[in-house]
Structure 1
Amino acid sequence: MIKIYHNPRCRKSREGLEVLEQSGQDFEIVKYLEDIPTEEELKTLIGYLGITPEELVRKNEAIWKEQYKGKSLSDDEIITAMVENPKLIERPIIVKDKKAVIGRPSEKINILL
């Protein structure tokens, strides 16, 4: 089953959702600002993406700039920051069969389809 971590207010996330809808495949929508991933879920997603926790952070968010930018943070501390402030999580994230992509640009989603 395909899963999209989605923020309906984000244009890029809506574009990602549209790609999935047009694919005709079944998928599940996770509104991650409401259904916040746990630290373990984020660690799993980061593993599927093959990136570091910091690469999943939206560094232009005010929360990041005000509270975390310039600090020396461990991977666990970065993951905790994303759980406490889910707006920091890059979006959309599309997951299929233990593989994932960040759908920016939305064409990247086709890698999984």
Structure 2
Amino acid sequence: MNGKHNKKLTPVAKKLRKNMTKEERRLWYDFLRGYPVRFLRQKVIGDYVVDFYCASAKLVVELDGSQHYEADGAAKDKVRTEFLQTFDLRVLRFGNHDVLQNFEGVCTAIDKAVQEALLP
């Protein structure tokens, strides 16, 4: 990726890694950490820290809590997604409730996106 790493956000990313939400922990420890294609958690991209990032698939996975469904949160997410797309990244968003209620479906959707991105 050609984006610059914002060193000012590195301490924020480290703190977020240590204080993951229960939904982030579930997705990381029960799926992404052992996934055969490498994912990073709390990756700094520009002025943002994304929840999960797969460089080889150019994929960002975001888990959205309730604040993301309010008007202000949705507008900020739109700007964030548009910024990430300027780096040719695909952004998948899942609500926290999706991870808790449909974990297998979330994992299947992520796997499908990775496989599609890695097709020759």
| TM-score, L = length of structure 1 | 0.35
The structure richer in strand per residue is 2
Greater length-normalized contact order (CA 8 Å, ≥ 6 residues apart) = 1
| TM-score, L = length of structure 2 | 0.33
The structure richer in helix per residue is 2
